Structure 1
Amino acid sequence: MGVKRIKPNIRSDRLDESRAFYRDVVGLAEQGGLDWVLFFGTDRREVQLSVMRLDVRAGVHPDVSIEVDDVDVVFRRAVDAGAEIVYPLTDEEWGLRRFFVRDPNGAVINVTQHQ
């Protein structure tokens, strides 16, 4: 099981202002998104930042997303460790298999795998 990337998720209800800031001030390229989430990054897939309203499916804001190559293995490890599963293992309509887990510091981690 390998980690492919780690991406911070900034919560915001000011998507237009965030778009201008991360694109025009910081210099990141806007890389699409949905009506509730924007992605910014570079030509390197590993360099990405998300700005989002409250996650529309989970109803919880994930502080960080970690993309792995086998989300089922990580889910089993989290359950076996007694970690709090905040959002169950789910196949999302936008092509991700994911779950949310709370880390020992209280941060919500979105563990994902592209399908």
Structure 2
Amino acid sequence: MKKALLILLLAGTSAHFYAQKSLTVKTEKPMKLNAGIVTNKLSESKAFYTDVLGFGVTFENEFYLLMHTPNHEAEISFLLPNHPSQQPLFHKPFLGDGMYLTIEVENVDSRYEELKKKGIAIKIDLRDEPWGDRHFAIEDPNGVGIDIVQYASRE
């Protein structure tokens, strides 16, 4: 009987330990994404993202630029290629193909008109999609397509 009680006690303690461990995992800080582009165009990128899209500079030095959206909810970074402080994985420059960013806005029509007035080249004109989204696209100095979208109601 004592042996059975000990086994039940140990099983309960183990279950409590694993339950506590899973609770700890659920309270971790949420994951956050920062897209990065390896490019020689740090100054052009900074000018584009600040002047055209209203981003702010979070951090900057001679080889790295970290920028944030106006509401500080997302970031993008730019890194000079082949910088000796970086590992080889981050040396090759982005060649301008196969990447896009999506920026969600509340009023895509006013953003479209604002960028047209600034003389920004519109790569895809303002349009409605069959699923309800409304969007247009521009391109950054690195060749990254930027889809500016107002999503249909997701309720």
Query: Normalised by the size of structure 2, how large is the TM-score?
Result: 0.34
Question: Whose helix proportion is higher, 1 or 2?
Answer: 2
Compare CA radii of gyration and give the structure with the larger one.
2
